[in-house]
Structure 1
Amino acid sequence: LEAAMRPTQQVRTHAIRMAHENIDKTLKAGEAILAQFDLTRRAEATILRGPHEDLESYLEAVDTLKGISRFFSSNKNFRSSEGILNHVNGLLAKSSLKIEEEFKQLMTTYSKPIEPDRLFDCLPKSLRPSKDDEDENANQSDHPSKGLETAVYKIPTLVPPRILPLMNDIAQQLVQAGNQQSCYKIYRESRGSALESSLRKLGVEKLTKDDVQKMQWEALEAKIGNWIQFMRIAVKLLLTGERKICDQIFEGGNFNKDQCFAEMATNSVVTLLSFGDAVAKSKRSPEKLFVLLDMYEVMRELQPEIEVVFEGKACSEMREAALGLTKRLAQTAQETFADFEEAVEKDASKTIVQDGTVHPLTSYVINYVKFLFDYQSTLKLLFQEFETGNETESQLAVVTTRIMQALQNNLDGKSKQYKDPALTHLFLMNNVHYMVRSVRRSEAKDILGDDWIQRHRRIVQQNANQYKRVAWAKVLQALSVQGAPGSTGSSTPADLNSSGVSRAVIKERFKAFNTQFEELHAKQSLWIVPDQELRESLRLAIAEVLLPAYRSFIKRFGYVTAPITLHDLLLIFGCCAELHPLASIELISRLYHMIAVPELQNYLYFVCPLKHLSFMLTDGVAPKTLYFGEQHFLNL
């Protein structure tokens, strides 16, 4: 019987155990359901209060409701599951709207424009504007981008760090709720508006090519300087900061952050680049070359940051726009460089310098070339943009040599406008000497080389010799009696001196010498040799030719002239007074007693004309001492 009943007992035991297990499961399921109801009540209370008081608790309540929704979705056999699901989903819909409002509120509250002073404080000290900027800008000699390689920029805090995680949580909730487009729109509008306002406060404005073309050069130059500063601030500070904010707000989850950032920054980037485009496309002129190089430099400098800030396919259009501007600036700068060379050679200004000094074109071109050498590295990059070879150094030398040759060709043409050949050579001597001296004192020496310097020094010497020959030929001719009338046998013996030269001829030559010298003095006292060393060497060269001829003439024929008169003595006194004012009375006394000696009488007679040598070839101010006159008088 026991054996027969044993299977029946086992079945009953198993049934009882299963019943107990089912009861336990039911109780646990009931407890779980009750717990979900309890969670729902608490979450509902938080949702109804809204996110303003405690955003973190609010977001936790939303997560709780999402868990409840998943629970009842997987337990649809519970007869009240559909009702509770509808209730929970309704709460989630309400929470989504409130979260969106909170996100908008947060973005609006913490998306204020940055004041310019705050941005300037984030710049390296060398780039910060000072109170004396206006004065300093008028006398900037240093190349603006020197030393910027190691400059440190401090990215400003655009949104408090404690707020960014909350924004990220909200953004994730909105995306999970299917409201990503609303989320992206709020971000674009708030951050985009803040960025545009920050740039406006700085002074950024959108200008067209026509706007640029209408500006006076001084105004345009100032705006270009500002634009360079704005570009650095925009890329290195504002856009870099905005990119970090975007990455933190949309960190994790399924966000299209590159597209969001691109759409947010587009208007600001277009405004910034539009000015650069307008300048690059405006009418070319030589003075624009340096600002074009400055603009090209800053775009090259910012290229690495642009690549990082605008990474991703969505931002490719802005990367390409920036790169396109860099290439346009390079192209315009190169064309302007070529225009300058042509403009130098074809400069048709009719204005000539009446005194033979350095022409304004010469100083302009030399200063232009010297300034170019502040941009050597930039010019090499410029040539690399369009050259296939690596000979950028020689390319710069070739272009510089062509500019200098164009200047010399133009000066040769201008020199032909002078009616006086002596002034022609003086003009060329002054200008080529200025070119040589300037090159020797600048970096152009290393580019043009010693051969160029030596070749042009020879040109200076050739023109100095030609000036000396042409200007002083008639004066020296007056001191020669060869071929003069009466120097042959046509005169009577009484009229001839021991050299067989007519006294009348000698007197005529004395008179001619004085006349020629006075005329030369009147004319050349208006001429200028601005370089002191060149001026002194020229004076010495003239003296070395003129004084020996004069002494020789006096030695041979000095006794032929009439005795010195009181008028001559007074002239001598005037000359001596200029030389030695304190010794004038003593000198006049000594000279008066010398009149009895015929040779000294005639020698003294010609001291006065030679005093004019000191006034010739001045630097624009008549000297107070009479160098040649003094030297000649002391030889007495």
Structure 2
Amino acid sequence: MAEDGEEKLLATVQHIVQTLGSSDTMTEDILKVFSNYDGRLSLDKLYAARTAAAAAAASGGGGGGGGGGVVGERSMTTLPPLPPLPAAAAAVSAAGPRPPITSMERTVRALDRQISQFVAMDRLIWADSADADAFLEAVDDLIGTVQELDAAGTNRALLDRADELLSRCMARLEDEFRALIERPDDAAPVVPGGFGSDGSDDDDDFGGGDGYGDEPIPIAKPVTDYDVVIDALSPGSIANVHQIARRMVDAGFGRECAEAYAAARRSFVDESVARLGVRSRTAEEVHASPCEELEFDIARWIPAFNMVFRILIPSERRLCDRVFDGLAPFGDLAFIAAVRTQALQLISFGDAISSSSRAPERLFRVVDMYEAVRDILPDLDPVFSDPYSAALRAEVSAMCNTLGSSIKSIFMELENLIRRDPARVAAQGGVIHPITRYVMNYLRAACGSRQTLEEVMEGDFGANGGAPVAVDPDRPTSSLAVHIAWIMDVLQKNLETKSKIYRDPSLASIFLMNNGKYIIQKVNDSELGVLLGDEWIKQMTTRVRRWSMDYQRTTWGKVTSVLQTGSPGMGGLPAKAMLQKLRMFNTYLGRSMRHSQNG
């Protein structure tokens, strides 16, 4: 009797389900309600009864043998007729009894209903923490179900359905991920004098509107303290995006997650670099720019390079590591994709400057660029330590090398400048020649960066890792010392050639003497004295002394010869001849005095 009662109960429930379940989804919900209400109404029993009833209805409701027929008969005699099955169900019944729906199918259907509600939301799911938690829980269940179905490999159709649901789920997660990163209230970093903005539009606060485009971008003030970290996202937002990133990686969508992160952060990086006054320029544009414009661009590039590689990029690395904590290598992919474009923009400008004009005036700016790059190289090692960003670290190192080579080329161009100075042009009156002033003042200024020049001339571009070069103060045979000594030799030969233009030998001597004294003075009161050495200074002093003796012999010899009145044993000169000698004496004496004043 107990079994009859249970059969009648199952038949009654089945009839109610057929009557009220106007769709598969509604039928599924009704079956779950009954299964939760009475332990005798398990889902397996309800599905079995439903299948048997459908089979009996398809065969005309007759009572053939078997359990299904019995249930069908009792249903027909004790309850009103069942409504017709849907076309799909009738087709399945006509082909034979439908296999029971597995628990995995029920799980996929339930997850589909639950996740579809979240995916269809027209607001951010993370606007409500409870919704976010429920959605993540459903995502975890779906990922586990897909993995289980894939491992079983017995129900390809169900796996495809679960995969399609997972793709829709991941697309919505990606949208949430990007929205959380790009949300203005969670991404408003404030760097002292740097990237952050307090909302003010005052040009005085940002150095004027030097942006590039229809709407000028304010230029940030330069900073000197690079010990700054940009917290672009709040801790809560980082926790949220990390949860999303972990689900996307677990679901096999790690690369898509990295691309979404890079797209969301790239706009911030682009705007930050634009605020530093740096714009993208081709090598051809750089080469065609006037010297004054390039000076201005280099003056902006150096602090921008320091800001980007000392503050912005390390901060992006820190943020990326927190978002993708434990999710390598996708964090590395996201980081390099976010910063590579703007980093290469700065590097390309440095390369363009390296290959531009070799004019000696460029030396000092190029040295400044080289020092900025060289000093930062050691700090880049922990930032670009992964295989994906190592290539960018190599690009920075290569730029350091090209800047170093450019310094050597510019320094060598000074020799050509001296050689090309016309030998037929000499200073009037034997005074210091302009080429002498230019070369000596240039070399004195260049020695202000002696340590850098020593490093470059030795060919160890950036090899010291930013540490000061070990310079021997008594080493006049270093590469830089040899190079400067060679330049001084070229200058002396040029001056000697110029001295031959003077018709008066005494004036030629005073020209050489004046320029020689000036050279010794500039060498003694600068680093040039250390580089050239005491022996060189002694040799130069000897030359100046010889030129002075030549001057005295050619000038004062004439004066004294006029005073001679004749050979021994002869009488005195006639009065007319003596008067002529006195006039010549006055002329030579006046000329000698003028020469002495010039000397």
Q: 1:453 aligns with which of 525, 537, 562?
A: 537
Query: Which residue identity lines up with residue 519 of structure 2 in the other structure?
Result: M
Q: 2:570 aligns with which of 477, 488, 491?
A: 488
> Comparing 451-460 with 153-162, which one deviates more in the overlay?
153-162
Report the secondary structure of 2:502's partner residue: coil
Structure 2: how far apart are the matches of 1:191 and 1:46? 26
Residue matched to 1:280:
354
Report the secondary structure of 1:119's partner residue: coil
Report the secondary structure of 2:429's partner residue: coil
Residue matched to 2:248:
174
- Asked if the contact 1:113/1:194 (under 8 Å) is kept, the reply is no
Query: Which residue identity lines up with residue 194 of structure 2 in the other structure?
Result: L
Provide TM-score, normalisation by structure 2: 0.66
- Asked if the contact 1:412/1:428 (under 8 Å) is kept, the reply is yes
Structure 2: how far apart are the matches of 1:72 and 1:337? 67
Task: Please say if 1:509 is aligned against 2:581.
Answer: yes
Residue matched to 1:319:
393
Residue matched to 1:556:
none
Displacement of 1:362 after TM fit? 0.9
Instruction: Classify 1:263/1:380 alpha carbon distance in 2 versus 1 (closer, same or farther; 3 Å).
Output: same
Displacement of 1:338 after TM fit? 2.5
Query: Which residue identity lines up with residue 551 of structure 2 in the other structure?
Result: Y
Task: Please say if 1:329 is aligned against 2:329.
Answer: no
Structure 2: how far apart are the matches of 1:448 and 1:350? 29
- Asked if the contact 2:189/2:231 (under 8 Å) is kept, the reply is no
* TM alignment of 1:212-227, pairs within 5 A: 212-227=286-301
Residue matched to 2:135:
62
- RMSD (CA atoms): 4.3
Structure 2: how far apart are the matches of 1:470 and 1:131? 68
- Asked if the contact 1:174/1:183 (under 8 Å) is kept, the reply is yes
Task: Please say if 1:269 is aligned against 2:343.
Answer: yes
Task: Please say if 1:291 is aligned against 2:365.
Answer: yes
Residues 106-160 of structure 1 deviation map (CA, whole Å, 9 limit, x = unaligned): 22225979799732899xxxxxx9999xxxxxxxxxxxxxxx9x96532333333
Instruction: Classify 1:55/1:457 alpha carbon distance in 2 versus 1 (closer, same or farther; 3 Å).
Output: farther
Residue matched to 1:579:
none
Displacement of 1:439 after TM fit? 0.8
Structure 2: how far apart are the matches of 1:396 and 1:74? 71
Identity percentage over the alignment? 27
Q: 1:119 aligns with which of 170, 182, 194?
A: 194
Residue matched to 2:548:
464
Displacement of 1:293 after TM fit? 2.3
Q: 2:512 aligns with which of 428, 439, 443?
A: 428
Report the secondary structure of 1:287's partner residue: helix
Residue matched to 2:318:
244
Displacement of 1:235 after TM fit? 0.4
- Asked if the contact 1:119/1:156 (under 8 Å) is kept, the reply is no
Residue matched to 1:231:
305
Instruction: Classify 1:95/1:403 alpha carbon distance in 2 versus 1 (closer, same or farther; 3 Å).
Output: same
Structure 1: how far apart are the matches of 2:206 and 2:276? 16
Q: 1:439 aligns with which of 512, 515, 523?
A: 523
Instruction: Classify 1:116/1:256 alpha carbon distance in 2 versus 1 (closer, same or farther; 3 Å).
Output: closer
Instruction: Classify 1:93/1:283 alpha carbon distance in 2 versus 1 (closer, same or farther; 3 Å).
Output: closer
Structure 2: how far apart are the matches of 1:417 and 1:120? 62
- Asked if the contact 1:273/1:322 (under 8 Å) is kept, the reply is yes
Structure 2: how far apart are the matches of 1:86 and 1:466? 104
Instruction: Classify 1:59/1:93 alpha carbon distance in 2 versus 1 (closer, same or farther; 3 Å).
Output: farther
* TM alignment of 1:77-96, pairs within 5 A: 96=170
Displacement of 1:336 after TM fit? 2.6
- Asked if the contact 1:47/1:62 (under 8 Å) is kept, the reply is no
Query: Which residue identity lines up with residue 483 of structure 2 in the other structure?
Result: V
Q: 1:339 aligns with which of 373, 397, 413?
A: 413
Residues 56-98 of structure 1 deviation map (CA, whole Å, 9 limit, x = unaligned): 43332134325655599989xxxxxxxx999999987765444
- Asked if the contact 1:73/1:85 (under 8 Å) is kept, the reply is no
Residues 346-403 of structure 1 deviation map (CA, whole Å, 9 limit, x = unaligned): 4336432113221111111112221222222212322343699x99952222112111
Tell me how many residue pairs correspond in the alignment. Answer: 459
Unaligned runs of at least 5 residues, structure 2: 1-37, 44-102, 150-157, 198-203, 208-222, 464-469
- Asked if the contact 1:51/1:99 (under 8 Å) is kept, the reply is no
Structure 2: how far apart are the matches of 1:38 and 1:320? 52
- Asked if the contact 2:191/2:230 (under 8 Å) is kept, the reply is no
Displacement of 1:407 after TM fit? 1.0
Residues 275-324 of structure 1 deviation map (CA, whole Å, 9 limit, x = unaligned): 11111122322222332222222221121233322221112321222222
- Asked if the contact 1:258/1:311 (under 8 Å) is kept, the reply is no
Displacement of 1:234 after TM fit? 1.1
Residue matched to 1:371:
445
- Asked if the contact 1:280/1:329 (under 8 Å) is kept, the reply is yes
Report the secondary structure of 2:487's partner residue: helix
Query: Which residue identity lines up with residue 514 of structure 1 in the other structure?
Result: N
Residue matched to 2:486:
402
Provide TM-score, normalisation by structure 1: 0.62
Unaligned runs of at least 5 residues, structure 1: 1-25, 76-83, 123-128, 133-147, 490-499, 528-537, 539-615, 619-636
Structure 1: how far apart are the matches of 2:532 and 2:267? 53
Query: Which residue identity lines up with residue 275 of structure 2 in the other structure?
Result: K
